[in-house]
């Protein structure tokens, strides 16, 4: 089995806890040979974690000229675009963390650069590979719920935050930080085309100047209305997904999904009446009928690496298969360009003053 030589830029939460944690567990297919971080203690930790052979530096340009199959760009969010472009220009295949870029134009520039340099450009949208989302997509694709009228997606909770992920200058805030997960899923369910966007954003409990409350409405002709919420102000967590269909409904979290539906041929026969009474009386009545519902449930089997750890592994399976065997790259930069366009439009509708 071919072993790919990997460099990681950044040993923060993503570079260390997500990518690094996966890569030290899959040394048959990946070997970390270089780590870049501007903090010395993290470079020293990289030597301990990945091995004494690892080249460490505080400058990603020191990778230039090295024999590397894949560079993982998990730098600060506002550096994703510039560093990724520089890496592509120097002949590297790049996997970039989310948020991919600040604007759709930046995404297109990276797409054009990758094509010109004949390099792979990948985006780490691992939430598309979570077990719960794949199950929801399977249910919707089966059409058992009929036409989908509304999809509500809630990636919220209650939290105050005071790190760089609260700063607009770092491409941060709830929408650029957490938002790429639910927005990527939403656009997969929306289907072809660019949705209309209506957005509401506020600063509430954040210590920075970026938003910590986001409500997105995505809609289009003959499309479901998709309601995406990414707020740090929610003290109660009712669901992650709530879906309304013409023949049924679904509600679920990341560990359990419940859905119910009826079969059209089993519905009681009805006809339109302007008014009617309760049977055998003169008392006016409301519409009421007995519908036979079919109810099903899916429960996570408790994946070994947890919801997002398991999705990371599925993403890397896909990536390795693409790089080594020529398999399909199912998360494309072109797809993520649409996501960034949605986020960009939300910010255009809700300009926030900059404080830092």
Q: What is the mean pLDDT of residues 117-127?
A: 98
Structure tokens, 129: 């590979």
Fold match between domain 4-124 and domain 128-305+338-349: no
**pLDDT bracket for residue 304 (50, 70, 90):** confident
Cα separation, 146 vs 289, whole angstroms: 20
Residue in 97, 89, 69 with CA at minimum distance from that of residue 9? 97
pTM for this model (two decimals): 0.94
Tokens 């949705």 label which residue?
Answer: 195
Q: What is the mean pLDDT of residues 103-119?
A: 98
**Per-residue confidence band for 306, with pLDDT thresholds at 50, 70 and 90:** confident
Long-range contacts formed by 20-28: CB under 8 A, 24+ apart: 20/49, 20/50, 21/309, 22/309, 22/312, 22/313, 22/316, 23/50, 24/49, 24/50, 26/313, 26/316, 27/3, 28/1, 28/3
- Cβ distance 229 to 215 under 8 Å? yes
| Domain ranges for the chain | 4-124, 128-305+338-349
Strands (E), 234-291: 241-245, 248-252, 256-261
| Cis peptide leading into residue 99 (ω within 30°) | yes
What digits encode the pLDDT tens for the residues 194-241?
999 999 999 999 999 999 999 999 999 999 999 999 999 999 988 999
Is 321 buried (19+), middle (13-18) or exposed (0-12) by CB count in 10 A? middle
Architecture of the CATH domain 4-124: 3-Layer(aba) Sandwich (3.40)
The owner of tokens 């020191």 is: 62
Contact status, residue 310 vs residue 304, Cβ threshold 8 Å? yes
Report the Cα–Cα distance between both ends of the chain, in Å, rounded. 49
pLDDT at 153 > cutoff 80 = yes
Q: Hey, what are 9's tokens?
A: 């830029």
Tell me the pairing of strands 213-219 and 225-229: antiparallel
| Helix (H) or strand (E) run with residue 294 in it | strand 294-299
Angstrom CA distances, 25 to 9, 29, 93, stand at 19, 10, 22
| Assigned CATH for 128-305+338-349 | 3.30.360.10
Backbone angles phi, psi at 177, to 5 degrees: -85, -70
Q: What pLDDT is stored for residue 286 in this prediction? A: 87
CA angle, 270 then 271 then 275, to 5°: 110
Q: What is the mean pLDDT of residues 105-126?
A: 98
Q: Which residues contact 157 (CB under 8 A, 6 or more apart)?
A: 232, 234, 237
Q: How many CB atoms lie within 10 A of CB 149?
A: 13
């Amino acid at each position: 089995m071919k072993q790919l030589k990997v460099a990681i830029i950044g040993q923060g939460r993503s570079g260390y806890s997500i990518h690094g944690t996966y890569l030290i567990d899959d040394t048959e297919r990946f070997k970390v040979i270089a780590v870049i971080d501007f903090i010395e203690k993290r470079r020293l930790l990289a030597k301990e974690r990945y091995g004494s052979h690892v080249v460490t530096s505080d400058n990603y340009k020191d990778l230039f000229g090295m024999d590397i199959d894949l560079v993982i760009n998990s730098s600060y969010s506002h550096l994703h675009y510039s560093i990724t472009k520089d890496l592509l220009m120097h002949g590297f295949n790049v996997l970039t963390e989310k948020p991919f870029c600040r604007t759709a134009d930046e995404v297109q520039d990276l797409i054009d650069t990758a094509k010109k340099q004949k390099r792979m450009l990948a985006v780490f949208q691992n939430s598309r590979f979570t077990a719960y989302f794949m199950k929801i997509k399977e249910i919707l694709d089966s059409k058992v719920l009929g036409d989908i009228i509304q999809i509500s997606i809630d990636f919220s909770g209650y939290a105050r935050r005071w790190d760089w992920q609260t700063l607009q200058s770092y491409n941060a805030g709830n929408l650029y930080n957490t938002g790429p997960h639910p927005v990527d899923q939403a656009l997969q369910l929306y289907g072809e085309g660019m949705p209309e966007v209506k957005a509401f954003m506020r600063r509430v409990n954040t210590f920075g100047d970026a938003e910590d409350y986001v409500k997105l409405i995505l809609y289009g002709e003959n499309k479901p209305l998709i309601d995406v919420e990414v707020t740090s102000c929610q003290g109660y967590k009712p669901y992650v997904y709530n879906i309304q269909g013409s023949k049924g409904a679904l509600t679920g979290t990341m560990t359990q999904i419940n859905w119910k539906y009826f079969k059209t041929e089993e519905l009681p026969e009805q006809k339109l009446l302007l008014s009617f009474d309760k049977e055998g009386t003169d008392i006016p009545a409301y519409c009421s009928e007995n519908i036979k519902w079919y109810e099903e449930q899916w429960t996570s089997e408790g994946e070994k690496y947890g919801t997002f750890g398991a999705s990371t592994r599925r993403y890397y399976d896909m990536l390795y298969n693409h790089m080594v065997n020529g398999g399909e790259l199912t998360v494309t930069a072109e797809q993520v360009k649409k996501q960034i366009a949605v986020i960009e439009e939300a910010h255009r509708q809700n300009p926030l003053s900059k404080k830092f």
